[in-house]
Amino acid sequence: MKRISLTQYLVEEQRLHNTIPAELRLLIEVVARACKTISHSVGKGALGEVLGTAETENVQGEVQKKLDIISNEILLEANEWGGHLAAMASEEMESIHPIPNRYPKGEYMLLFDPLDGSSNIDVNVSIGTIFSVLKAPEGMGEPTEADFMQAGSKQVAAGYAVYGPQTMLVLTTGHGVNCFTLDREMGSWVLTQRDMQIPAKTKEFAINMSNMRHWHPPVKRYVEELLAGDTGPRGTNFNMRWIASMVADVHRILNRGGIFMYPADLRDTSMPGKLRLMYEANPMAFIVEQAGGAATDGKQRILDIEPHKLHQRVPVFLGSRDEVAVVTGYHQG
């Protein structure tokens, strides 16, 4: 099969669907180029003096890894001069990052988790970059956090890069999900999987089992039934995976099905789960739904949630739609 580049794919998508105007194409290509740079930094490891912690904390109160900060800087610097953005927001920054006045502003807003899966950085396990694109509200003046408070259904594009044995970029602009592999010799993103589809059924679940005693009853019931296997009500055995890197777990699910869960639990009832809505759950939910899967917070579609805070957290159940329906049904039962 003749392979095409990310650029050719975007140009053809624009011709087909007229939904990727030049500014959005530029944005996607700039983000993709930034992910190449991040992949290069990540790949150096100890040789690049980029491992370990940075002795600082982010807004989440998490100790920042050096590569968290490096990746954040790479995305900020790559995107601020192009004229395609009005503002950015990042897991690593407390407040939004307006485009400096020395540069023209555009009509898009970019949100990202620059390097997700930080606990895996120093042990050479796959990590990734997650990004989400919103349109700036009509007539917006100086961007504020309130301008970012849009439901996930308003995203115009979303994607992630996964830095694993291969470096891959998964992208949706609302017309299916496509995957590009980084050709390191040429330095280009090459289309390697078109229109990815998540199987509706699965026998593989992903959750951090060490939290089991803290789960609410619907999650406990659902997982115990999976664990009971062919001796229980499901009548079949299930397998388990947990990489503790959302990008890697989601990429596996996109390729072979599965259900990924990070529920709220009883440890801190004020904290509805660990994952953040705006730059983790929303982009992943957009991608998963575009691939025929489902994504809920246990009660409603993640993409329907009206956000109130930039860094708000949300419970996440996503992947093979038949399994997401079962665990969501237990919450509603």
Binding residues for substrate: 116-119, 208, 274
Closest CA to 156 of 221, 84, 238, 226: 84
According to CB under 6 A, which one of 114, 117, 143, 283 is a site residue for ligand P6P? 117
Asked if 57 contacts 76 with a C-beta cutoff of 8 angstroms, the reply is no
Strand partners, 160: 130, 170
Q: Provide CB contacts within 8 A for 292, sequence distance 6+.
A: 197, 198, 200, 321
| Binding test (CB under 6 A) with ligand P6P, winner from 13, 107, 116, 265 | 116
Cβ 245 to ligand P6P shortest distance, Å: 5
State yes or no: residue 209 binds ligand P6P (CB under 6 A): no
Closest separation between CB of residue 172 and ligand P6P, Å? 19
Which residue positions form the known binding site for Mg(2+)? 91, 113, 115-116, 280
> Binding residues for ligand P6P, how many (CB under 6 A)?
11
Would you say the C-alpha torsion 10, 15, 20, 21 has a positive or negative sign?
Answer: positive
- Window 45-104: residues binding ligand P6P (CB under 6 A): none
- What is the spatial distance between Cα 198 and Cα 89, in angstroms, rounded to a whole number? 29
Asked whether the beta carbons of 222 and 229 are under 8 A apart, the reply is: no
- Taking 3-state DSSP, the helix, strand and coil percentages for the chain, each rounded to the nearest 5, stand at 40, 25, 35
Q: Which stretch binds ligand P6P (CB under 6 A): 15-23, 80-88, 98-106, 111-119?
A: 111-119
Within residues 256-275, the interface with ligand P6P by CB under 6 A covers 262, 274-275
- Which runs of consecutive H residues, i.e. helices, occur in 237-320? 246-256, 282-290
Contact range with ligand P6P by CB under 6 A, out of 112-120, 134-142, 161-169, 325-333: 112-120
Strand pairing category for 157-163 and 259-262: unpaired
**Of the candidate residues 208, 237, 239, 332, the single one contacting ligand P6P (CB under 6 A):** 208
117 vs 258, beta carbon nearer ligand P6P: 117
- Burial of residue 22 (number of CB atoms within 10 Å: 0-12, 13-18, 19+): exposed
Q: In the complex with ligand P6P, which residue's Cβ is closer, 198 or 246? A: 246
Alpha-carbon distances, residue 266 vs 161, 213, 215, 316 (angstroms)? 32, 9, 6, 15
- Cβ distance to ligand P6P smaller for residue 74 or 247: 247
Residue of minimal CB distance from ligand P6P? Answer: 246
CB of 260 to ligand P6P, least distance (A): 8
Q: How far is the CB of 207 from ligand P6P (least distance, A)?
A: 9
**Among 79, 118, 126, 129, interactor with ligand P6P by CB under 6 A:** 118
- Name the minimum Å distance from CB 275 to ligand P6P: 6
Tell me how far the alpha carbon of residue 208 is from its chain's centroid: 18
Q: Which of 41, 70, 39 is nearest to 53 (CA)?
A: 70
Q: Which of residues 219-258 bind ligand P6P (CB under 6 A)?
A: 244-246
Binding-site residues:
91, 113, 115-119, 208, 274, 280
Smallest gap from Cβ 70 to ligand P6P, in A, equals 17
Q: How far is the CB of 183 from ligand P6P (least distance, A)?
A: 26
Query: Identity (one letter) of the amino acid at 3?
Result: R
Sites of contact with ligand P6P (CB under 6 A): 116-119, 208, 244-246, 262, 274-275
